[in-house]
Structure 1
Amino acid sequence: MSESEEAQPLRTTNGPPGRPFSRAGLVLLGILAAVFFWFAGRLLLLVFAGVLFAIFLRTGAGFLSKYLRLPSGWSLLLFVLLLLGGATTAGWLFAPSLAEQARDLTEAVPKAYSQLTDRLRETTWGGWVLDQVEEGQNAQEDGAMVGHATTAAWRLIDGIVALVVVLFVGLYLAVDPQAYVRGVLRLVPMARRRRAGEVLYATGYQLRWWLLGQLLSMIVVGLIMGIGLAFIGVPLAFALGVLAGLLEFIPTIGPPLAVIPALLLALVDEPQKALYVLILYAALQIIESYLLTPLVQQRAVHLKPVVTITAQVFFAWTFGAIGILIAVPLIAAVQVAVQMWYVEDLLSDDLK
């Protein structure tokens, strides 16, 4: 086959000439992908999490390689060692106090919730609402205590296995990503291989900037929330700041979840502090919306809030915790592929 023939896209009898995919082919491909994803969804999500970890490692290694003039392999090794050293140092400095505050937080939040419900029960409407909630909980908890210990043990084992899979996939991909990219491209017909490579590159680019944006948001939100809560006088501010930073990785849903324990502790300690916590949370949302998010969106794909929330609810409902963690970057990757393959190639539309 000549070079000019290889550059021509595959034509179909039903589709317009020059378009690389037919509508029937795309529908069939979508159905097959949906069926496969349904049966192997959790494993695929773990592999995708490993891809994100590999992108993180390659980004850090690329930074070191650029400024230290190191070969790719040595820069990756140095970055991994820096991560391990930083984690060890942080653990040695902060782990004792963080573990103590985390333990106190797990005890303080239920107590604060109990005290708050006692106060609400003193009011007529509050007592009625709590009675309705408790009736529903009692109906669901009949017989639920049986097997809780076994379930917790299996969840722990499942979490450890998932973490090992993500780490190994990420490390192996980071060592030689081009080998795996070439392997994927070999599955694509020759006429479409160049375009598939462009889609893979664009997807990796978007995921890299999405990941960097989330890490930046996590650091900023964790620091501001921890310092702000300490200034307000909310108990266990350090642990609450770390929790806020970690939950920031989950767009849209994470930030409101992070502020709930801070509000509970503030309400029990001094109701006026709860107002200050809400003001701090609102200020953080303004900083994120008008400073951090636009900075990242200059390079990363932008997802509409409805798409984000719908994806998070669906993946959380279907796959649990790993689903809600991976939903947004996965949808971002899918959006890039749809934009390039369907909108631009099939529809010949350059609308972004």
Structure 2
Amino acid sequence: MRDLPPDAVPAPDVPGKARLARDARAGAAEVTDILPATAPAPRGPAPSPRPAADPRTGDLWAGAGTARRAVPAGRAAEPEADSEAEPGEDAPFGVPGKPLTRGPFLWGLTAALGVLTAWGLAQALISARNVIVLIVVAGFLAVGLNPVVEALQRRGLHRRWAISLVFLGVIVMFALFGLAIIPPVSQQLTDFVGAVPGYMQELLSNPTIKQLDEDYQILANLQTYITSGGLGATVAGGIVGAGAVVLDAFFSGFTLLVLTLYFLGSLPTIKEYLLLLVPASRRRRTGAIGDQILDGIGGYVAGNVLISVIAGALSWLFLTFAGAPYALALALVVAVTDLIPLVGATVGAVIVSAVGFLQSGPLGIACVIFFVVYQQVENYVIYPRVMSRSVDVAPAVSVIAALFGGALLGAVGALLAIPVAAAVALIIREVVLPRQAQL
């Protein structure tokens, strides 16, 4: 209870009422001590809060609440900038408006640009189709030759010298193929050109040709066509076109050899770089699956080459024994076409049998019988034993993959289809099926 001021006049002592009055005054006094007296708000800007000092560093804290900032000791706190500046001071061109992110014009423009970009990329891929095919084939050949290089490395040969030896063998094989094919073809062309006058005389002596010439003036029109220069222009155009085809084939072959050598030399580096793109937790398993895929592709290439060598060697022995001309060239044709899955062996057999029929009927019949028997042996004896350790693909899947590959990229696509199908089957078996079993 608070003491009364000295000038206060004590109230008469009334029982009950006096005690209630004293309690009321005491309650009012306690409320006054707790709540500060209200004063009228001053006009003008509110004074800035006095900066408080940090007891540890001595820095002053300016501002209030979460917007406080530290001011070093001995430096006055700077006033904070206003959150919104006037357009005339900090934004001379006015406050920017909302971005046009949902406008129909901007949406349509973005969609049109996306379509044009996709169309441009598609056209670029179509234009570079030949280059992409060369790169894919070169990588395929490098992966196929890598097991031979690694086998030479295991025998103590440095990788550089192993690659050089393997690549030299590939070049020698191409050179032998050219030496075996070019002379017979050129000789046949020379013989055909020399025999053209005799063929013309035989045609002129034929009664049917004489009657047709009297009715339709065939020889006169042919002579006019030759003397007018039409034949020369056609022949020149054909020669130029054939030269362009030969030059393009030579350039493509040289580029393929260079790319194959580059990929073969940098194959370990390429594998390590691709593994760096995989998360570290999955890198070991991915590397193991990738090595198995590469081993399967290499085994497929080596097995296919071995089967083609067997087919060419047996064909050469048969044609030599049968007395067929240019037996080595025809055997090389069989070996090269046998590299193409499904239809390659049949194509080579048809070509050689046709050449045999041109020589003589018995030789053509003998060629047909030989190739029919050999293809049965190859399909049911040689191919399963050679490919059993390289690729594990069901026969139906192999046929479907070869058909799709041939439709997309021709002979190259058919050649690449089976190892690609084997790689996809391996990924499904090692990644997809275990994940599905855990669901």
TM range (shorter): 0.5 to 0.7
- What is residue 226 of structure 1 aligned with on the other side? 316
| Alpha-carbon distance in 2 for matches of 1:50, 1:99 | 25
Q: Does 1:339 align with 2:433?
A: no
Pairwise CA distance, 1:181: 1.1
Shift of 1:193: 3.5
Distance 1:203 1:109 in 2: 50
Choose 212-221 or 286-295, whichever is displaced more. 286-295
Indicate how the Cα distance of structure 1 residues 150 and 273 shifts in structure 2: closer, same or farther if over 3 A, else same. closer
Residue in 1 aligned with 2:385?
295
Contact kept? 1:53, 1:167, Cα under 8 Å: no
2:159 aligned with 1:72: yes
Which of 282, 285, 294 is matched with 2:372 structurally?
Answer: 282
Q: Is the 8 A contact 2:353 2:364 kept in 1?
A: yes
Q: Deviations over 1:107-138 (max 9, x none)?
A: 78999xx9xxx9xxxxxxxxxxxxxxxxxxxx
Aligned residue in 1 for 2:355? 265
Question: Match for residue 150 of structure 2?
Answer: 62
Match of 2:398 in 1: 304
Taking structure 1 as the reference length, what is the TM-score of the superposition? 0.66
In structure 2, do the counterparts of structure 1 residues 313 and 104 end up closer, same or farther at CA, with 3 Å as the change threshold? farther
| Cα distance per residue 1:236-267 (max 9 Å; x no partner) | 22211111111111122222221223222322
Match of residue 5 from structure 1: none
Matched, 1:158 2:220: no
**Contact in 2 for aligned 1:202/1:336 (Cα 8 Å):** no
- Name the counterpart of 1:313: 407
Residue type of the alignment partner of 1:264:
A
Q: Hey, what does 1:183 align to over in structure 2?
A: 273
Letter in 1 for 2:359: D
Give the distance between the partners of 2:387 and 2:135, measured in 1 at CA.
25
Residues in 2 aligned to 1:104 and 1:41: alpha-carbon distance in whole angstroms: 36
Structure 2 equivalent of residue 102 of structure 1: 185
Which whole-Å CA distance do the structure 1 matches of 2:251 and 2:401 have between them? 30
Q: Give the C-alpha shift of residue 191 in structure 1.
A: 4.7
The within-5 A match list for 1:79-228 is 79-81=166-168, 86-87=172-173, 91=176, 99-104=182-187, 148-228=238-318
Give the AA of the match of 1:42.
Answer: N
Query: Aligned pair 1:254/2:376, yes or no?
Result: no
1:314 shift after superposition: 2.9
| Offset of residue 280 of structure 1 | 0.7
Residue identity matched to 1:309: L
Q: Which letter does structure 1 place at the counterpart of 2:186? A: R
| Residue 50 (1) aligns with residue 138 (2) | yes
Instruction: Read off the aligned partner of 1:204 and give its amino acid letter.
Output: L
2:275 counterpart letter in structure 1:
L
Q: 1:144 to 1:182 in 2, by over 3 A?
A: farther
Query: Gapped runs of 5+ residues in structure 1?
Result: 1-30, 119-142, 317-323
Output one character per residue of 1:38-63: Cα deviation in whole Å (capped at 9) or x when no partner.
56443222112212332344322222
Match of 2:340, SS state, is coil
**C-alpha distance 173-295 of structure 1, shift in aligned 2 (>3 A):** same
User: Are 2:142 and 2:261, in contact at CA under 8 Å, matched by a contact in 1?
Assistant: yes
**CA drift at 1:147:** 5.1
Q: Considering only CA atoms, is the larger Rg found in Structure 1 or Structure 2?
A: 2
Partner of 1:26: none
What secondary structure sits across from 1:304 in the alignment? helix
Separation of aligned partners in 1, 2:161 and 2:188: 41
In the alignment of these two chains, the number of paired residues is 277
Report the CA distance shift for 1:105/1:277 in structure 2 as closer, same or farther (over 3 A). Answer: farther
Relative to structure 1, the CA distance from residue 55 to residue 272 in structure 2 (aligned partners, 3 Å threshold; closer, same or farther) is same
- TM-score (norm. length: structure 2): 0.54
Structure 1 residues 340, 289: closer, same or farther in 2, change over 3 A? closer
For residues 268-301 of structure 1, what are the alpha-carbon distances to aligned partners after superposition, in whole Å with 9 as ceiling and x for unaligned? Answer: 3332322211111012212311232112221222
- 1:328 lines up with 2:418 in the alignment: no
Q: What is the SS of the residue equivalent to 1:299?
A: coil
Q: 1:225, CA displacement in angstroms?
A: 1.0
The runs of 5 or more residues in structure 2 that have no matched partner are: 1-117, 204-232
Q: CA RMSD in A?
A: 3.7
Residues 261/108 of structure 1: CA separation in 2 closer, same or farther (3 Å cut): farther
Cα pair 2:401 2:421 within 8 Å, conserved: no
Measured in 1, the distance between the counterparts of 2:128 and 2:287 equals 25
Query: Conserved in 1, the CA contact under 8 Å of 2:311 and 2:334?
Result: yes
2:332 is matched with which residue: 218, 228, 242? 242
Per the alignment, in what secondary structure is the counterpart of residue 155 of structure 1?
Answer: helix
CA–CA distance in structure 2, aligned partners of residues 154 and 334 of structure 1: 33
Q: What is the deviation of 1:192?
A: 4.4
On the 8 A contact 2:309/2:335 being kept in 1, the answer is yes
Amino acid at match of 1:76: I
Residue 209 of structure 1 deviates from its aligned partner by 1.0
Contact preservation (8 Å) 1:244, 1:255: yes
**C-alpha separation in 2, matches of 1:145 and 1:179:** 51
1:30-49 correspondence to structure 2 within 5 Å = 40-49=128-137
| Residues 215-242 of structure 1: per-residue CA shift (max 9 Å, x gap) | 1112111111122122223332221111
Whether the aligned pair in 2 keeps the contact of 1:315 and 1:327 (CA below 8 Å) is yes
